[in-house]
């Protein structure tokens, strides 16, 4: 017998039936609800979720494109990328020990306190999935530091070295301003750059924080060409963003890799042999040497001192080093050739000559007696030669650089006439050079003086202008263009890039010589100027007679730009404090009969043009001639000469260049 009496079955079962029917109905409905929802998710929206699942696990790793290279005209490699190593730290893997690991890394690879602080701040800021993302704590460590790091890596959880190509400026600061440098893109800049990219339909992907971008010089000017198109590697990652190499099969093989396209190469018109030679012979602490092919407007050499090393500027320069550069009174960040202007000094006398003759205030045969000083009203101006030059004509006045002759001309011309001719010769406006940030210089007319000088324009101001003092200012590049115009009659837009080539050497873009205008002066005017410039170098009375050469004829003009007003007593410039010494100019071209090369030298705070600028210019011209002869000997029989030199100049030398 059962211990518990069974309950009566029949009646009870009848009682259950309606409730069981209800329950069955509810059961069916519940399952239909589930199936309905599944139908919605898997059938109706299945495609959408398939895509989102893929987004989840397919990570696109950027494979940065190799940046384009810089070559000189002879295909000498100037800038490339070298393999280098960055140290990274992944917060997740060092966990609570991150601070300690960072300290150890800092000691091993010699990080400055500011670098450590920066890394520490990034460590603190890492949130959520960011803790799985490695961030860079030190860029570009040296070979020795790499060895030290690798030897200690077991004690450095989370720290890693990543091979990252780094921009390599093979010649350091040589040509540094021109080539420019790269550094990290800023957050605001990022937005602008990417906006531009999205509008340009370029295949290049957007910039990301941490990317490097051409900051100065040609690196900046040709950023789009040099950058290339980044590739993509599609890899499977898990939910924490970690690479799952064994899950490769989840991504179809043909979708795993999109190769990067290297950037285009930039071919410069510079002849690096000339560049290096100029660097060697230029004695200046600060200054510019710039040489141009007179027939095309393409630069042959450009020395600009001082220049920071772009390798340094492109790495993570320390705050202290950057501060030192910023506070350096020599302003190493200034690209003097186009971003600084100077009084042209006596080199401006060529311009005054043109104005005087074209305006008819002087004739080619005009002679003036120089007693060593010039008076107008109550004011007196001293000549460079205190004892005076005696009777001088244009040839003598230009050659010996007599001030009084041009004081006279200036007084007769007035500021407006001088300014008019200066502008016609291409001064007072940017030359249109390839690198951004060019300043226009100052060509002051009467209105300018009225606006800028207390008391307004006085006639005496034109007297100063006539010898390139007063308020006239030109950049070395403008000076170069002006003297090239004197040599050939064409006012060039100075250029330094001749071609853009793709990585296989296919020419994508060729830059042709570009004339901004012609020097509209009479033949006789030109002859007078030429004669004066020849005299300066080739006549015993010439200021640059010491720099004459036998093999070919150099025409040129020295200049000394006063920085501080000459006091009662002349002081030898060696005895002046550096920043009060005069700037030395020399502008020249050769051969005078059929000019090929124009050179402008500006030696800051060095004293006289004849002794501190002319030897460099003439030395460079000599080197140019030597190299030309050498190349011709090598290429004897070879039909094609280097491209830019062979490019047809639109304008030949103007008129019959007057011989001495």
Partner 1 sequence: MAPDVSLAATPHRRLIAHFPWHVGFLVLTISALGVWNLASASRSAHAPVWISQSWWMGAGILVALGVALIDHRAFQRMAWVFYAVVLALLVLVHLKGRYVMGARRWLTFGPLNLQPSELAKIAVVLALAAFFAEDAERRREGYGLFGLIIPLGVTLLPAALILKQPDLGTALIVVAVGCTQLLFAKVRWVTLLILLVGALVGGAIAFRHLKDYQRNRIASFLNPEADAKGAGYHAQQSIIAIGSGQGTGKGWGQGTQTYLSFLPEQHTDFIFSVWAEEHGFLGCVLLLLLYFALLASAVDIAGAARDRFGHFVAIGVTSMLFWHVFINVGMVIGLLPVVGVTLPLMSYGGSSVVAIYAGMGLLANVGMRRFVN
32 or 208: CB nearest partner 1? 32
Element (H, E) at 81: strand 77-89
Rounded CA gap, 482 and 488, in Å?
10
In three state form, how does the secondary structure of 93-107 look? Answer: HHHHHHHHHHHHHHH
Rounded CA gap, 563 and 347, in Å?
15
Give the count of alpha carbons within 13 A of 218, CB side only: 29
What tokens does 243 get?
């690479």
Rounded CA gap, 603 and 345, in Å?
13
Rounded CA gap, 431 and 447, in Å?
23
**What residues line the site for partner 1 (CB under 8 A)?**
1-4, 6-7, 9, 12-13, 15-17, 19-20, 23-24, 27-28, 30-31, 33-35, 37-39, 41-43, 45-50, 52-54, 56-57, 128-129, 236-240, 244, 247, 250
Residue from 447, 359, 456, 352 nearest 406 by CA = 352
Rounded CA gap, 493 and 485, in Å?
11
Element (H, E) at 14: helix 9-38
Q: How far is the CB of 128 from partner 1 (least distance, A)?
A: 7
49 or 578: CB nearest partner 1? 49
Rounded CA gap, 301 and 287, in Å?
14
Give whole-number Cα distances, 545 to 211, 329, 556, 558, in Å: 54, 34, 10, 11
Strands 265-268, 70-71: pairing kind: parallel
Element (H, E) at 258: strand 257-258
Q: How far is the CB of 94 from partner 1 (least distance, A)?
A: 22
CB within 8 Å of 464: residues ≥ 6 apart: 381, 410, 470, 471
Residue from 581, 587, 593, 645 nearest 616 by CA = 587
What tokens does 3 get?
């211990």
Cβ proximity of 389 and 400 under 8 Å: yes
Rounded CA gap, 267 and 71, in Å?
5
60 or 450: CB nearest partner 1? 60
What tokens does 141 get?
């460590």
Rounded CA gap, 175 and 73, in Å?
14
Give whole-number Cα distances, 518 to 387, 466, 522, 586, in Å: 40, 22, 12, 23
Residue from 488, 492, 480 nearest 587 by CA = 480
Cα 343–chain centre separation: 24
Task: Report DSSP state, residue 448.
Answer: H
For residue 261, which phi and psi values (nearest 5 degrees)?
Answer: -110, 120
What tokens does 108 get?
């091993």
Q: How far is the CB of 91 from partner 1 (least distance, A)?
A: 17
Q: Three-state DSSP class for 511?
A: coil
Rounded CA gap, 494 and 491, in Å?
9
Residue from 247, 257, 258 nearest 57 by CA = 247
48 or 144: CB nearest partner 1? 48
Residue from 284, 266, 623, 218 nearest 476 by CA = 284
Q: How far is the CB of 191 from partner 1 (least distance, A)?
A: 24
Q: How far is the CB of 252 from partner 1 (least distance, A)?
A: 13
CB within 8 Å of 405: residues ≥ 6 apart: 368, 370, 389, 392, 394, 397
**Do you find a cis peptide bond into 591, omega within 30 degrees of 0?**
yes
End-to-end CA distance of the chain: 146
């Amino acid at each position: 017998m059962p211990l518990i009496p069974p309950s009566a079955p029949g009646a009870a079962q009848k009682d259950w039936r309606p409730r069981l029917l209800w329950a069955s109905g509810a059961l069916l409905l519940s399952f239909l609800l589930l199936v309905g929802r599944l139908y919605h998710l898997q059938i109706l929206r299945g495609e959408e979720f398939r895509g989102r699942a893929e987004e989840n696990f397919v990570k696109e790793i950027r494979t940065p494109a190799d940046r384009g290279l810089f070559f000189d005209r002879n295909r000498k490699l100037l800038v490339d990328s070298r393999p280098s190593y960055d140290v990274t730290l992944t917060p997740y893997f060092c966990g609570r020990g991150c601070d300690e690991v960072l300290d150890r890394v800092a000691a091993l690879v010699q990080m400055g306190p500011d670098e450590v602080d920066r890394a520490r701040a990034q460590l603190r800021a890492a949130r959520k999935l960011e803790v799985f993302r490695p961030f860079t704590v030190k860029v570009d460590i040296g070979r020795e530091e790499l060895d030290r790091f690798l030897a200690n890596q077991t004690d450095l959880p989370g720290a890693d070295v990543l091979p990252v190509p780094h921009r390599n400026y093979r010649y350091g600061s040589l040509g540094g301003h021109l080539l420019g440098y790269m550094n990290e893109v800023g957050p605001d800049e990022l937005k602008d750059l990417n906006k531009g990219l999205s509008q340009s339909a370029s295949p290049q992907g957007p910039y990301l924080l941490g990317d490097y971008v051409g900051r100065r010089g040609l690196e900046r000017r040709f950023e789009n060409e040099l950058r290339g198109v980044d590739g993509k590697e599609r890899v499977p990652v898990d939910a924490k963003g970690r690479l799952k190499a064994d899950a490769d099969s989840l991504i179809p093989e043909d979708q795993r890799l999109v190769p990067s396209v290297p950037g285009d190469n930039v071919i410069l018109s510079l002849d690096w042999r000339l560049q290096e030679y100029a660097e060697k012979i230029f004695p200046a602490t600060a200054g510019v040497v710039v040489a141009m092919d007179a027939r095309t407007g393409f630069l042959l050499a450009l020395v600009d001192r001082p220049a920071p090393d772009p390798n340094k500027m492109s790495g993570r320069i320390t705050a202290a080093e950057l501060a030192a550069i910023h506070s350096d009174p020599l302003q190493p960040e200034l690209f003097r050739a186009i971003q600084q202007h100077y009084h042209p000094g006596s080199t401006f006398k060529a311009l005054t000559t043109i104005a005087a003759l074209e305006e008819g205030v002087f004739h080619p045969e005009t002679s003036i007696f120089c007693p060593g000083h010039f008076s107008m009203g109550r004011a007196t101006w001293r000549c460079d030669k205190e004892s005076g030059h005696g009777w001088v004509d244009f040839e003598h006045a230009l050659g010996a650089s007599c001030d009084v002759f041009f004081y006279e001309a200036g007084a007769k011309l007035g500021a407006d006439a001088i300014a008019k001719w200066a502008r016609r010769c291409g001064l007072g406006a940017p030359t249109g050079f390839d690198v951004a940030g060019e300043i226009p210089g100052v060509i002051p007319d009467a209105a300018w003086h009225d606006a800028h000088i207390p008391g307004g324009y006085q006639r005496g101001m034109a007297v100063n202008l006539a010898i390139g003092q007063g308020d006239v200012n030109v950049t070395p590049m403008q000076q170069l263009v002006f003297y090239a115009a004197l040599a050939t009659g064409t006012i060039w837009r100075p250029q330094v890039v001749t071609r853009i080539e793709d990585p296989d050497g296919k020419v994508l873009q060729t830059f042709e010589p570009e004339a901004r205008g012609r020097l509209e002066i009479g033949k006789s005017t030109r002859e007078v100027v030429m004669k004066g410039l020849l005299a300066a170098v080739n006549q015993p009375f010439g200021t640059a007679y010491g720099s004459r050469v036998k093999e070919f004829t150099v025409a040129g003009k020295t200049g000394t730009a006063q920085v501080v007003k000459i006091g009662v007593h002349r002081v030898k410039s060696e005895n002046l404090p550096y920043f009060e010494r005069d700037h030395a100019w020399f502008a020249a071209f050769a051969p005078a009969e059929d000019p090929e090369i124009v050179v402008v030298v500006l030696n800051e705070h060095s004293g006289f043009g004849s002794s501190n600028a002319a030897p460099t210019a003439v030395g460079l011209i000599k080197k140019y001639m030597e190299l030309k002869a050498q190349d011709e000997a090598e290429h004897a029989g070879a039909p094609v000469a280097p491209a830019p030199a062979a490019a047809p100049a639109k304008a030949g030398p103007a008129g019959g260049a007057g011989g001495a």
